[in-house]
Amino acid sequence: MPKKKMTILPKTKRILEEMGENIKLARLRRKFSSEQVAERANISRPTLSSIEKGAPTVSIGSYLLVLQVLGLEKDFLLLAKDDILGRKLQDANITTNERAPKRNNKND
């Protein structure tokens, strides 16, 4: 079965690129070389380079490892923390299915 191609929307790509740039700036402010951060995060230098470019193909775990080396791992907890839409839906008491319906894989 061929792999499905990942589709990244332009807005999402910009967010990843900005996050990568922020990680790079944090590394430079701390005067860490890319080799030091990659070694401490137990990843390769090309992977760190991909993270700093905002590559969508790098695992989220690798991003977290780099943030940990930089002392910024708690920033990761801020993701989706202020879920305004979710709270509005909860307040409006709109019910949603707990799980998405099962797909019929016969046609795939």
Domains and CATH numbers, the chain: 10-91 (1.10.260.40)
The pLDDT value given to residue 11: 96
The pLDDT value given to residue 94: 60
Enter the pTM of the model.
Answer: 0.75
For the stretch 85-108, pLDDT in tens is 888 888 887 666 677 667 777 655
Query: Phi-psi category of 93—alpha, beta or left, where left has phi over 0 and alpha has psi -120 to 50?
Result: left
The pLDDT value given to residue 80: 79
* 75 half-sphere exposure, CB direction, 13 A CA radius: 14
Contacts (Cβ under 8 Å, ≥6 apart) of 6:
56, 57
Quickly tell me which residue has 């402010």 as its tokens.
29
